[in-house]
Amino acid sequence: MSRKQALSMYLLGTFGQVLGVSLLVWFLRAGGVKVDFTSPMGIIAVIVGGLSSALWGSIAIISYHLSSFKQVLKDFFQVKDSLVNYCLVLVFLLLDFFPFILGGKITTQSLVLPVVLFFKALLFGGIEEIGWRYFFQPTLEERIPYLSATVITFLAWSIWHLFYFYIDGSLAVIQLLPFLVGLFINCFILSALYHKTQNLWICVMTHACINSLSQILVNEEVWLSLVSKILIISLAMMIARKKYVTLKEK
């Protein structure tokens, strides 16, 4: 399978599935059927729609790289990695939550909740990395620069999220602009980590950490948030550039 065919299959499959579920949800709601996290039909819709990027990412990478589902599963749980790579994750998390460290607050006193949120985020968040970071962006980067690939991935990932939020019923209440800004920064964090580590699990774990911590940590310092975002993008670009220079020298 050619690169173009693999990318087309991934996008058509991913968006076709999430759009199909969105249309079904719209039809059911129009008919008075309750479709949200409190109904069996809603949970099924969220799962089917949410798995679209992971499912088609797996299919695309298996077809394009002549891999196997067993290899995808192995890479998803490839916990063993160097201390340096895990330290890089910590650096990005500290930068991302830098405003909170200097002046934020925690919205819960429970020690169990963060753990529960993390494992929930592995299934409803981290699994998306199979599609977007494991297949889509690296395949884009075979022909276009890192920055362009990151922006394209952000645009596609944003649209996918809008459909997903419609399915789970949160589209009407979500603060869209802050979410998109956060998603843009996450694209740099996760893509830079995959650039450096080539480890799917690192991206899955980091995605889950960001999602879970974002639900319990609050920051109101806008200027600190801006500084942290600039630092994150700068570090991501440095990592991508360093890898490009290293490959060119070889």
Half-sphere exposure of 183 (CA within 13 A, CB side): 21
Please check whether residue 25 is in contact with residue 167, taking contact to mean a CB–CB distance below 8 angstroms. Answer: yes
The mean pLDDT of 186-207, rounded to a whole number, is 97
Tokens linked to 196: 């450096």
- Which pLDDT belongs to residue 220? 64
Taking the C-alpha atoms of residue 71 and residue 82, their distance in angstroms, rounded to an integer, is 20
At 200, the pLDDT band (50, 70, 90 cuts) reads very high
Mean pLDDT of 182-204: 96
Read off φ and ψ for residue 79, nearest 5 degrees: -70, -35
pLDDT at 87 over 50: yes
Mean per-residue pLDDT, 117-124? 90
Residue predicted with more confidence, 199 or 34: 199
E-assigned strands of the chain? 105-106, 217-218
End-to-end CA distance of the chain: 28
What pTM, to 2 d.p., does this model score? 0.92
| H or E element in which residue 176 lies | helix 176-197
Flag whether pLDDT at 106 surpasses 60: yes
Name every residue whose Cβ is closer than 8 Å to that of residue 191 and which is 6 or more positions away in sequence: 133, 137, 146, 149, 150, 153, 236, 240
Assign residue 165 a region: left if phi > 0, alpha if psi is -120 to 50, beta otherwise? Answer: alpha
What's the confidence (pLDDT) of residue 247? 46
Mean pLDDT of 14-35: 95
pLDDT class of 112 with cuts at 50, 70, 90:
confident
Helices (H), 97-175: 98-103, 113-123, 129-131, 137-140, 146-168
pLDDT of res. 113:
87
Least confident of 16-25, 26-35, 199-208: 26-35
Residue 16 structure tokens: 């076709």
| Domain boundaries of the chain, sorted by first residue | 3-249
Lowest mean pLDDT of 49-53, 84-88, 114-118, 146-150, name the range. 114-118
**pLDDT mean over 62-78:** 93
In the prediction, which pLDDT does 165 show? 95
Measured in whole angstroms, the distance separating CA 150 from the mean position of its chain's CA atoms is 12
pLDDT tier for residue 248 given thresholds of 50, 70 and 90? very low
CA 82 to chain centre: 22
Residue 245 clears pLDDT 70, i.e. is over it: no
